[in-house]
Structure 1
Amino acid sequence: MFHLAQVNIGITKGAMDSAVMKVFSDNLDPINAIAEASEGFVWRLKDEGGNATDIAFSDNPNELVNMSVWESVDGLKHFMFKTHHIDFLKRKKEWFETPSEATYVLWWIRSGHIPTIEEAKHKLSLIRKHGETAEAFSFKKVFAAPNDGLMNN
């Protein structure tokens, strides 16, 4: 059985405690609670404080990472586009720099596997270099979960 892993990153327009990031920062816990209560949610990256804002994805201190695992594409899509999360997604330009390359990627993992930051970096580099493939894809071209049992992770 396979689950869907996702990572998305963004460069903030200020420090998390800055005025420009206040609304975003103030709503992290409620939005994360919606994710965790959503049907199909399996796991999300978080530190002792309950979020991932202090977890480094790169050397850039303003780069935030969000990584989670879902039972299905539909579960993730429902959370992203059919809950209060969509209100913040629509406002992302207020808090994040406009990216010049892909900032999120989806990939299939074996049920029970917890993806690492290094794995997420690798998958993001794959979609940036090769576009949509069965190994690293986006909502633009979703690939079905493997059924041959030959995946490495």
Structure 2
Amino acid sequence: MPIAQLNVARFRRPKADPANQTFMDALDHVNAQADAADGFIWRLVGEGDANDATAIEAVAGDADFIVNLSVWRDVASLEAFAYRQADHRTVLARRSDWFDAMEPSLALWEVPEGHIPSVTEALGKLAELGRDGPSAAVFTFRWWRENR
């Protein structure tokens, strides 16, 4: 069954601050690699020419809170991209350079074939994970590895 993933972050400095430019410059390349990755189905992008979701205001009044929402064939294909694709790993390793620590910041859940989750649905899953902990309904990579 396909898997949806949401990861969220809040910039330490305003999004447009030059300190975030390395992250912003990496997005197109890493997103293109995700789009071409085995198992990739869909990802959220902004309006018009936007090729990422950084301009989407997922939380009203918080322009520095960003979301990454995508759908993959299965958890294994998402995990392979997230943790084995070199450029993505490089950006992931520098996460603390740009973003405040948040917990949870990642939620995974199964979706029906052809379903495209909304940001509202995804944030609800993240809140459920934070409130109730991981389960078959919403989980983390760690929970998935321990319970498959």
Q: Same fold (TM over 0.5)?
A: yes
Q: Does the aligned pair in 1 maintain the 2:129–2:139 contact within 8 Å?
A: yes
| Residue 119 of structure 1, aligned match among 118, 121, 134 | 121
Local SS of the residue matching 1:126: helix
Mapped partners of 2:127, 2:96: distance in 1: 23
Local SS of the residue matching 1:69: strand
Local SS of the residue matching 1:80: helix
Partner of 2:53: 52
Partner of 2:101: 98
Partner of 1:31: 30
* One-letter identity of the residue aligned with 2:96: K
Mapped partners of 2:15, 2:124: distance in 1: 26
1:20 paired with 2:22, answer: no
Mapped partners of 2:134, 2:95: distance in 1: 23
Q: How many residues align?
A: 142
- TM-score, scaled relative to structure 2: 0.92
* One-letter identity of the residue aligned with 2:75: V
Partner of 2:136: 134
1:89 paired with 2:88, answer: no
Note the C-alpha offset of 1:16. Answer: 3.1
Mapped partners of 1:22, 1:15: distance in 2: 11
Partner of 2:10: 11
Q: What percent identity do the matched residue pairs reach?
A: 33
Mapped partners of 1:31, 1:53: distance in 2: 14
- Name structure 2 gaps, 5 residues minimum: none
* One-letter identity of the residue aligned with 2:16: D
Mapped partners of 1:26, 1:13: distance in 2: 17
Mapped partners of 2:113, 2:15: distance in 1: 33
Note the C-alpha offset of 1:13. Answer: 1.7
Which consecutive segments of 4 or more residues in structure 1 shift more than 3 A?
none
Note the C-alpha offset of 1:77. Answer: 0.7
Note the C-alpha offset of 1:121. Answer: 1.2
Local SS of the residue matching 2:31: helix
Mapped partners of 1:96, 1:27: distance in 2: 15
- Normalized per residue, the structure richer in helix is 2
Note the C-alpha offset of 1:14. Answer: 2.3
Please, what is the CA RMSD of the aligned residues?
Answer: 1.1
